Amino acid sequence: MPQPLSSKDASLFRQVVRHYENKQHKKGIKTAEQILKKNPNHGDTLAMKALIMSNMGQQEEAFALAKEALKNDMKSHICWHVYGLLYRAEKNYEEAIKAYRFALRIEPESQPIQRDLALLQMQMRDYQGYIQSRKTMLQARPGLRQNWTALAIAHHLSGDLEEAEKVLTTYEETLKIPPPISDMEHSEAVLYKNVVMAEAGKVDKALEHLEQVGYRISDVLAVMEMKADYLLRLDKKAEAEAAYTALLERNPDNSLYYDALVRAKGISSDDHKALKAEYDAWVEKYPRGDAPRRIPLEFLEGDDFKQAADAYLQRMLKKGVPSLFANLKSLYTNPVKRATVQELVESYIATAPQSDGSAEGADNTEFLSSSYYFLAQHYNYHLSRDLTKAMENVDKAIELAPKAVEYQLTKARIWKHYGNMEKAAEEMEKARKLDEKDRYINSKAAKYQLRNNDNDKGLDNMSKFTRNETVGGALGDLHEMQCTWYLTEDGEAYLRQKKLGLALKRFHAVYNIFDTWQEDQFDFHSFSLRKGMIRAYVDMVRWEDRLREHPFYTRVAVSAIKAYLILHDDPDMAHGPLPNGSGEDDSERKKALKKAKKEQQRLEKLEAEKREARKAASTKGVDGEVKKEDPDPLGTKLVQTQDPLKDAIKFLTPLLELNPKSVEAQCLGFEVYLRRGKHALALKCLSAAHAVDASNPTLHVQLLRFRKTLDTLPEPLAPQVAEVVNAEFETLLPKGQNLEEWNNSFASTHKDNVPHQQAGLTCRQLLKPDSKPQCEQDLASTLDSGDITIETAFAGLELLNEWGSSQAAKTAYAQKASGKWPEATVFRLE
| Residues 87-126 interacting with another protein (rule: CB under 8 A) | 88, 103, 107, 110, 112-113, 116
What is d(CA 343, CA 335) in angstroms, rounded to the nearest whole number?
A: 12
Asked if 149 and 168 touch (Cβ cutoff 8 Å), the reply is: yes
Binder of another protein out of 35, 46, 70, 85 (CB under 8 A) = 85
Binder of another protein out of 267, 320, 387, 664 (CB under 8 A) = 320
The nearest distance, CB 360 to another protein, in angstroms, is 23
What is d(CA 233, CA 228) in angstroms, rounded to the nearest whole number?
A: 9
The nearest distance, CB 607 to another protein, in angstroms, is 26
Closest to another protein by CB, 125 vs 637, is: 125
Binder of another protein out of 12, 17, 352, 732 (CB under 8 A) = 17
Closest to another protein by CB, 224 vs 565, is: 224
Strand, helix or coil for residue 325: helix
The nearest distance, CB 743 to another protein, in angstroms, is 30
What is d(CA 452, CA 459) in angstroms, rounded to the nearest whole number?
A: 13
Residues in region 633-692 near another protein by CB under 8 A: 658-662
The nearest distance, CB 737 to another protein, in angstroms, is 31
Closest to another protein by CB, 37 vs 288, is: 288
What is d(CA 289, CA 257) in angstroms, rounded to the nearest whole number?
A: 13
State the number of CA atoms in the 13 A half-sphere of 46 facing the CB: 25
The nearest distance, CB 214 to another protein, in angstroms, is 11
Q: Which residues pair with 748 in a beta bridge?
A: none
The nearest distance, CB 296 to another protein, in angstroms, is 11
What is d(CA 547, CA 659) in angstroms, rounded to the nearest whole number?
A: 11
What is d(CA 425, CA 193) in angstroms, rounded to the nearest whole number?
A: 54
Binder of another protein out of 37, 139, 143, 182 (CB under 8 A) = 182
Closest to another protein by CB, 358 vs 543, is: 543
Residues in region 387-446 near another protein by CB under 8 A: 405-406, 437-441, 443
The nearest distance, CB 686 to another protein, in angstroms, is 18
The nearest distance, CB 332 to another protein, in angstroms, is 10
Residue 620 backbone phi and psi in degrees, to 5: -75, 135
Binder of another protein out of 36, 124, 321, 721 (CB under 8 A) = 321
Question: Is residue 141 involved in binding another protein (CB under 8 A)?
Answer: no
Closest to another protein by CB, 36 vs 767, is: 36
The nearest distance, CB 28 to another protein, in angstroms, is 12
Residues in region 505-564 near another protein by CB under 8 A: 516-517, 520-521, 523-524, 526-528, 530-531, 533, 535-537, 539-540, 542-543, 546, 549-552, 554
What is d(CA 612, CA 609) in angstroms, rounded to the nearest whole number?
A: 5
Residues in region 225-284 near another protein by CB under 8 A: 225-226, 229, 250-251, 253-256, 259
Part of the chain binding another protein (CB under 8 A), chosen from 16-24, 32-40, 338-346, 806-814: 16-24
Binder of another protein out of 172, 183, 280, 310 (CB under 8 A) = 183
Closest to another protein by CB, 293 vs 707, is: 293
List Cβ neighbours of 46 (8 Å cut-off, separation of 6 or more).
Answer: 32, 36, 65, 66, 68, 69, 72, 79
Closest to another protein by CB, 37 vs 437, is: 437
Closest to another protein by CB, 27 vs 820, is: 27
Closest to another protein by CB, 222 vs 797, is: 222
Residue 757 backbone phi and psi in degrees, to 5: -60, -45
| Binding map of another protein across residues 191-220, x = CB under 8 A, - = no contact | ----x---x---------------xx-xxx
The nearest distance, CB 660 to another protein, in angstroms, is 6
**Residue 539 buriedness (CB in 10 A; 0-12 / 13-18 / 19+):** exposed
Part of the chain binding another protein (CB under 8 A), chosen from 176-184, 419-427, 681-689, 756-764: 176-184
Residues in region 606-635 near another protein by CB under 8 A: 622
What is d(CA 802, CA 789) in angstroms, rounded to the nearest whole number?
A: 20
Counting residues that bind another protein (by CB under 8 A) gives: 113
Q: How far apart are the first and last CA of the chain?
A: 77
Question: Is residue 181 involved in binding another protein (CB under 8 A)?
Answer: yes
The nearest distance, CB 406 to another protein, in angstroms, is 7
Question: Is residue 319 involved in binding another protein (CB under 8 A)?
Answer: yes
Residue 626 backbone phi and psi in degrees, to 5: -80, 120
Closest to another protein by CB, 322 vs 755, is: 322
The nearest distance, CB 364 to another protein, in angstroms, is 18
What is d(CA 59, CA 51) in angstroms, rounded to the nearest whole number?
A: 9
State the number of CA atoms in the 13 A half-sphere of 347 facing the CB: 10
What is d(CA 52, CA 17) in angstroms, rounded to the nearest whole number?
A: 9
Residues in region 43-82 near another protein by CB under 8 A: 44, 47-48, 51, 77-78, 81-82
What is d(CA 171, CA 167) in angstroms, rounded to the nearest whole number?
A: 6
Residues in region 323-382 near another protein by CB under 8 A: 323, 326-327, 330, 333
List Cβ neighbours of 254 (8 Å cut-off, separation of 6 or more).
Answer: 247, 248, 291
The angle subtended at Cα 653 by Cα 647 and Cα 657, nearest 5°, is 170
Part of the chain binding another protein (CB under 8 A), chosen from 64-72, 316-324, 344-352, 565-573: 316-324
The nearest distance, CB 121 to another protein, in angstroms, is 15
Angle between helices 790-803 and 807-820 (to 10 degrees): 180
DSSP 185-221: HHHHHHHHHHHHHHHTT-HHHHHHHHHHHGGG-S-HH
The nearest distance, CB 552 to another protein, in angstroms, is 6
What is d(CA 225, CA 122) in angstroms, rounded to the nearest whole number?
A: 29
Closest to another protein by CB, 288 vs 382, is: 288
State the number of CA atoms in the 13 A half-sphere of 678 facing the CB: 14
What is d(CA 281, CA 286) in angstroms, rounded to the nearest whole number?
A: 9
The nearest distance, CB 482 to another protein, in angstroms, is 6
List Cβ neighbours of 327 (8 Å cut-off, separation of 6 or more).
Answer: 290, 294, 316, 321
The nearest distance, CB 82 to another protein, in angstroms, is 6
The nearest distance, CB 704 to another protein, in angstroms, is 28
Comparing CA positions, the residue from 218, 250, 221, 129 lying closest to residue 533 is 218
Binder of another protein out of 14, 605, 735, 751 (CB under 8 A) = 14
Part of the chain binding another protein (CB under 8 A), chosen from 175-183, 378-386, 598-606, 734-742: 175-183
Binder of another protein out of 159, 631, 716, 736 (CB under 8 A) = 159
Residues in region 734-793 near another protein by CB under 8 A: none
Residues in region 459-498 near another protein by CB under 8 A: 465, 467, 480-485
Binder of another protein out of 9, 126, 290, 429 (CB under 8 A) = 290
The nearest distance, CB 674 to another protein, in angstroms, is 24
Number of other residues whose CB lies within 10 A of the CB of residue 47: 29
Number of other residues whose CB lies within 10 A of the CB of residue 428: 29
Residue 497 backbone phi and psi in degrees, to 5: -85, 5
**Residue 19 buriedness (CB in 10 A; 0-12 / 13-18 / 19+):** buried
Closest to another protein by CB, 164 vs 814, is: 164
Strand, helix or coil for residue 617: coil
Comparing CA positions, the residue from 704, 774, 772, 697 lying closest to residue 739 is 704
The angle subtended at Cα 501 by Cα 444 and Cα 811, nearest 5°, is 75
